Amino acid sequence: MYDYNPYVQDYAFPSLKLAQAYVPLQKYVSLYPPEEAIKKGTVFPELDMPYVGEKMR
């Protein structure tokens, strides 16, 4: 058994080459409701990456 995380994307690329940068293509998972999305700056939970380093400034 493993914990199911709906926001984990499939990061596999068919053929990774040297000297090339890759960003995984986003797959649709779910959306935040509009009011929450505007507050967070994204409608996609998997792209919601708040700044956490503030306390270590």
C-beta closer to other proteins: residue 1 or 49: 49
C-beta closer to other proteins: residue 1 or 22: 22
- To other proteins, the closest distance from the beta carbon of 25 in angstroms equals 5
Which among 50, 7, 42, 51 is positioned nearest to 26, based on CA atoms?
7
Residue 28 interacts with other proteins (CB under 8 A): yes or no:
no
Structure tokens belonging to residue 54 = 């503030």
Residue 21 interacts with other proteins (CB under 8 A): yes or no:
yes
Which among 43, 40, 14, 9 is positioned nearest to 26, based on CA atoms?
9
